[in-house]
Structure 1
Amino acid sequence: MITTAHFKVSGLKLLVVLLLMLATLPQAFAQRNVCNECQAVNEADAIRCKDCLTPLNKCLDCDTENPANLDYCSKCNAPLAEMRVLGSIDEQTREDLKLGQSDRAVTEKELMKIAYLLEKKPEQSEKLIYQRSKLFNRMEFHSREAESWREFLQKFPDSPKKSSAKIFLAEALRKWAYLFYQQKDMESALTMLLEAVEANPMNAEAWGWAGRIYNETGKKKEAGDAYLKALEARPGDQSFMHFLRQLRVDIPDHLRKPAAK
């Protein structure tokens, strides 16, 4: 049985670990050649402590022992700054508390790796920017995702992944637009939605939201046109047809039923 006392102990343990991380953070960045175990000062490019042989800059992802002056793993390119802090905490505690293992932490580490590789290997930019965009998608960071897809399409207009990038861009913009809509910023929301349907004219939800905003701002004709576009992208949709009837817009017969699969 898990008791209140257990929670108190776990909470105290977590607090101690966090305080330890904060205490060691400056050392991890500014004095990376100082051994955490014996405090010996080593050469800037030392791999192990000269006194106790403790690894000074070990990658926790691939176990590579790196020179102390490296910021990214020489083997897997993982960022090492946080690992130097985590490495000062015993392995069992790290495992018990899942330090550095959350989905968010893993994704942010991947983003840092990609940023490093974009500088180190610009010839791989197409692949790396695509990967970065997908990571923002996984994080549901809609604004950053949209910006990343925009960059991809601008830099690589002839990419074989252009079509999928446009689909992802449209969906990211649609979700970003909804955030503006929630804030009552109709102009910004509509701008995002129109960019979304330009990227992917078959994004029915983006057309539907554009119709809703037009309708709520008194632009009935534009609302009807947008809902018709939504229905073209998704024939037979009852919601779109409902709004079209309210706007007294004729619905073509071929759009009244779902498209044959």
Structure 2
Amino acid sequence: MNLFFDALAWLFSPERLQGAYALQTLLSQHLLYTAISVVIAAAVALPAGWLIGHTGRGREIAVAISGAARAVPSFGLLVLLVLVLGVVRTPLAAVITFVLLAIPSLLAGAYTGLEAIDRRVIDAARSMGMTEWQIFVKVELPLGLPLLIGGIRSALLQVIATVTIGAYVNLGGLGWPIIQGIPLGRFDQVLAGAMLVAVLALIVDLLLALAQRAAVPLGVRSQAHPPSAGARAGRRAAAAHA
């Protein structure tokens, strides 16, 4: 318990807001690397996932690529890329690592969102004369949005956690207190850094959970939660007296 209070004391010390390693600077670095990596990964993964989900082709290849990407150890890949690209290109090596980490979740969220749609809905849209592009934009994309946001949520959380190790190659971020505190034996600082990463991940997860819930179309929500028998009886009675 003393360690926990020591970590809080370290966090709220006025010194934490000053200098090159101020907490607000580390937070902005952490968010910047996370945002850049997820945006690049989305530009690669989402079109491919939507194409797979719409056509139903290439799913096995996507699953194999996702599984292979998840099996690669992120820390080992980061160090390897830093050695290959050179120390001066450390940010590039880090972004490549984080992008590869984010692609599987985004790819899965994109194609499973479209695959989960009842094929009868797609057939009905085609029978109405809609083009394939109209079907994608007006039917598939809205209905597949909740699962897509779930993929974005998973990718963001994975990248937020992994950006922490970027401090090992001098990238800054909220992992810096952890990486610096371990060799110094400053376990209050290590715990404080871990708490910062955990709080950031929880906030992002909560916001995206709310967004995922809000993305469910109203008609789908009503089907998932049909009115109770009492509510139906009340509606019939109101209709009878109308």
TM-score range, shorter chain: under 0.3
Question: TM-score when scaled to structure 2?
Answer: 0.26
